[in-house]
Amino acid sequence: MHGTQHHEHHHDHPAHGAETGTERRLLMALALTLGFAAIEALAGWHADSLALLGDAGHMLTDSLALGIAALAAVLARRPPTPRHSYGFARSKTIAAFANALFMLLLISALVWQSVQRLDAPRAVDAETVTLVALIGLAINIVVATMLSGHGHDLNTRAALLHVIGDLLGSIAALASGLLIQLTGWMPIDALLAMLIAGLIAASTVSLLRSAMHTLMNGVPRQLSLPAVGRRLAAVDGVRGVHDLHIWALDDQRIALSAHVSVRDMGAWPQVLTRLQRCAQQEFEIDHPTFQPEPMATRPLTYVPPPAPNPQGETGVIVGPR
């Protein structure tokens, strides 16, 4: 009774309904943002307003981010194929990573433009800026409200980050327009833009790190690899656990694989059931896979893997018996 034994447990937390709801919100946000960008661009062309045309371009970048997120959400629901056995759920993580990189590029461009503007201040049409900012603020509040409440989803978080960046930009533009009308001090426009860039950069880097962690098959942050290993090794009938790996398949599903040293190979079906129950109920691991091995002839101890560790070995964990 050697070989790999696994069992996949589906939490069936209204996943499908939540996913389709997220898709609808992303598509509605995309339609609203793209529609406003088109209207703003036409108004800017008619009024020969660079402020309006510039903000329309910014809204267009938000539309691109929302489009990427919506496409990824649709792809993520495709079923597994012979060549993609885990399905396409990771497309959302890839989209989040791409959108975070895109946001960093926009932030860099904004900072560069702000520095240039500080070196050579230019007159700003404060009344036009104020009007555009008010309309943009209203649109972005609506879109941000539609996308909020999905903080666990990296893909939606990345799209929301673009919208929040634009929302804060609208607030900064509104404050800038009012202050310029009151004081005439032009540098405030560039200074507020740099402040917003700094605030958004911190969230963007955090999102980028989370997406990279998932793409690199990192252990989910809510779990501890040694703690899970020790608990599995304490299951009745288990002598030790080694070659333990835990990773996130997507934002909702976690997988685990491990080699298990057992006392009695004949009792493996019962031991497997206990291991699966432990992984699923205590750690919410959806897809645990265990490979049984006969008990080693020499005592085992937990030894952290050496670094660097090209074999990917994760050490040996022994039960308390």
The maximal CA–CA distance of the chain, rounded, in angstroms, is 85
pLDDT at 178: 80
> Burial level of 164, CB count in 10 A (0-12/13-18/19+)?
buried
Q: Can you give the residue range of the structural domain that contains 152?
A: 15-215
At 271, which CATH number? Answer: 3.30.70.1350
b/e sequence 100-112, b meaning 16+ C-beta within 10 Å: bebbeebbeebbe
Both 138 and 194 in one domain: the answer is: yes
Block residue for tokens 């009774």:
1
Per the structure, the count of domains in the chain is 2
Is 182 in the same domain as 235?
no
The CB-side HSE value for 181 (13 A sphere, CA atoms) comes to: 13
Note whether 28 and 122 are same-domain residues: yes
What is the CATH classification number for the domain harbouring 19? 1.20.1510.10
Predicted confidence at residue 33, as pLDDT, reads: 87
Global pTM? Answer: 0.76
* pLDDT reported for residue 10: 45
Do 58 and 175 reside in the same domain of the chain?
yes
Query: Do 113 and 247 fall into the same domain?
Result: no
Instruction: Please report, for residues 10, 236, 275, the alpha-carbon distance to residue 271 in angstroms, rounded to integers and kept in the order given.
Output: 21, 7, 6
Same domain, 208 and 237: no
pLDDT value, residue 255: 95
10 is a domain residue? no
Q: Are residues 125 and 191 in the same domain?
A: yes
Contact (Cβ atoms closer than 8 angstroms) between residue 28 and residue 79: no
Same domain (yes/no): 114, 98: yes
Which tokens hold the place of 232? Answer: 């599995």
Question: Of the residues 192, 215, 238, which one is the last residue of a structural domain?
Answer: 215
Asked if residues 104 and 202 have their Cβ atoms less than 8 Å apart, the reply is no
pLDDT in tens, 226-251: 999 999 999 999 988 988 999 998 87
Query: Rounded to an integer, what is the distance from CA 9 to the centroid of its chain?
Result: 23
What's residue 16's pLDDT? 53
Cα–Cα distance, 67 to 162 (Å, whole number): 12
Six-digit token string for 276: 């699966």
178 in the same domain as 224: no
Please tell me the distance from the alpha carbon of residue 251 to that of residue 284, in angstroms, as a whole number: 13
pLDDT < 70: residue spans in the chain? 1-19, 44, 46-55, 121-126, 129, 149-152, 296-321
What was the pLDDT predicted at 254? 95
**Tens digits of per-residue pLDDT, 100-129?**
998 899 888 888 888 887 777 666 666 776
- CA atoms of 71 and 91, how far apart (whole Å): 9
* pLDDT value, residue 214: 92
